[in-house]
Each structure stands twice: as C-alpha cells, then as structure tokens.
Chains A and B, each alone.
Chain A
Amino acid sequence: MDYKHLGYFVAVCIIVFGSVISWWLKMFLTERTILKRISLLEEEK
C-alpha cells in the first residue's frame, strides 16, 4: 500500500469532515447565544 498517498486522502477527509462539523458547531453556538439574548430582551419588555 502507498502510505504517502493514503495520507493525502486521509488529510482531505479530515479537512472536509472537520470543517463541516466546525461550521455546524459555530452556527449552533451562535444560534444559542442569540436565542438567549432574545429571551432576555423579551423578558425586559
């Protein structure tokens, strides 16, 4: 087996899957923060 080229493929998989998970996590955390702020603002009113 050509381990060098296998390494290239594994690197691509880590980059693709890792970045997708990171983006989802970023959106999830952003959404949670905004929802908390909105509920606080609504309580103030």
Chain B
Amino acid sequence: MNSFNSKRIPNIMAVIIIIMLGAGLKIVVDYSLTVDKEAGYLWAQKIFYYHVPSAWTAFLGYFIVMIAGVQFLRTGNRKWDQIGVASAEFGTFFCLLVLITGPIWGQAAWGQPWTWEPRLLTTLILFLLYIGYFMLRQFGGHYERVARNSAVLGIIAFLDVPIVYLSLKFWSADTQAHPQLGMSEQSSLVLNVFFFNLATFTLLFIYMVWYRIHILKLKQKQLELTHGL
C-alpha cells in the first residue's frame, strides 16, 4: 500500500485546498463586510467567516456518521465503520473549532465568552455526545461490538444536529443571545465570501476524512500482518 501523498488526486486536492485557504484569508481580511452593520466590531465580526463554515462542516461530518452507521448495521461491512470513525473524528474536530471560535467572537460581541443560551448549549451537548462516541470506541471491548454500538450511538447523536440548527426557532427570542440574522438578509459580498470559505472547509473535510480512512486501512493491514491473518 502506497503513501497517501504519493497519489495524484489527493496531491492536487491538497494544492487546491492550500490555495483556497490562502485566498479565503486574503478575501476575508481585505474585502469582507461586517455581517451585522450596526455592530462596531468589524474585525471580530470577520470570525463569522470561519466560525459558521466550521459548524457546517461539523454537521456534514455527523450526517456522514449517521449514514455510515445505518449502512454498517445493514451490511456489516467494515468499510462503513471506517468511514463513520473518520467522519466522527473530523466532525468533532470542526465542532471543537466552533466551540473555540464562538466564545472568542462572544467576548467581542457580548462582553463574555459564554452564555447558557439554547444554541451554545445544544452545540456543547453535541460535542459531548461525540466525546462519548470516542470513549465507547476506546473502551467498548470487542471490535464487532464496538462497531455496532458506536454505529447506533452515531445515529442517535445525529438527532441533536437539527436541534442545534433549529434552536433559534425552538426557543423563545428572549432566551437567545445568538444573532437572529437570516442568510437571505445578507449582501452578496458577505454571501460570496461565506460560500467560498464554506466550499474550502468542505473540501478540507473530504481530504482529511479520505486521508484518515487510508490510515485506518493501513492499520488494518498492519494488524493482519502482525497476527499472520
């Protein structure tokens, strides 16, 4: 089995991602508008262009975990378990970025990094659910049982994703601290920069998951060689 970086498509993808990350940063720094025009914190407002795409990528990761979980329970194919684990890892990686970048923005906008409001709380619960997922994988016992139980947990944990997304509508406005601005209300310049970063993060996620699955396959091969399977 060859190195992931000796393959042509991943290399092209990596170059595209580096260019897009660099271009995205340049656009955000030089051209992006503040999302909330009345807010007086322009620079901190630019955090939005990294915070929201991270959240989107985390949701995408957890959606793939759910699909992979269903497919694993249906077919029992180890490939789906590997896809589920890799997606869960990077979904949680991006969820952690959301939980770090959010409070930095909150410090500028609210004067405090954290408030116990619905969206923050449901996002924290989502993150903790997937910490539970990894604890299960680490300490769950035999591989078959771990794979089956984590597939079930991945499906159940995904139920929190729509709750996070719709939390602004589920709870009354007086409990909310999050900006209640719809994307349709934004100018095209804000949207163009936002969607550019969204595409970059999605591509980065696909690349990272692909790389991780490659490593999981290598580990499997190493295990087979070690035990002479």
Contacts and interface: CB of A to CB of B under 8 A. Distances in A.
B218 A34 contact: yes
Interface string B190-229: 0000000000000010001001101100110110011000
B50 A13 contact: yes
A8 B105 contact: yes
B54 A16 contact: yes
Contacts of A38: 1, 218, 221-222, 225
Contact of B214 (A13, A16, A31): A31
Secondary structure at chain B's binding surface: helix, strand, loop or mixed? Answer: helix
A31 B219 CA distance: 9
A8 B43 contact: yes
A34 B226 contact: no
Interface string A10-38: 01110111011001100110111011011
Interface residues of A, number: 29
A31 B97 contact: no
A17 B21 contact: yes
Contacts of B21: 17, 20
Nearest to B25: A13
Q: For this complex, into which size category does the number of interface residues on chain B fall?
A: 35 or more
For B42, B43, B93, B204, the residue with the greatest tally of chain A CB atoms inside 10 Å of its CB is: B43
A16 B101 CA distance: 9
Interface string B59-94: 000000000000000000000000000000000010
B189 interface: no
B218 A12 contact: no
B187 interface: no
B13 to A, nearest CB: 12
Nearest to A30: B215
Interface of B: 1, 3-5, 21, 25, 41-44, 46-47, 50-51, 54, 93, 97, 100-101, 104-105, 107-108, 204, 208, 211-212, 214-215, 218-219, 221-222, 225-226
Interface of A: 1-2, 4-6, 8-9, 11-13, 15-17, 19-20, 23-24, 27-28, 30-32, 34-35, 37-38, 41-42, 45
6 A-B pairs with least C-beta separation: A5-B43, A5-B44, A41-B225, A6-B43, A8-B44, A9-B43
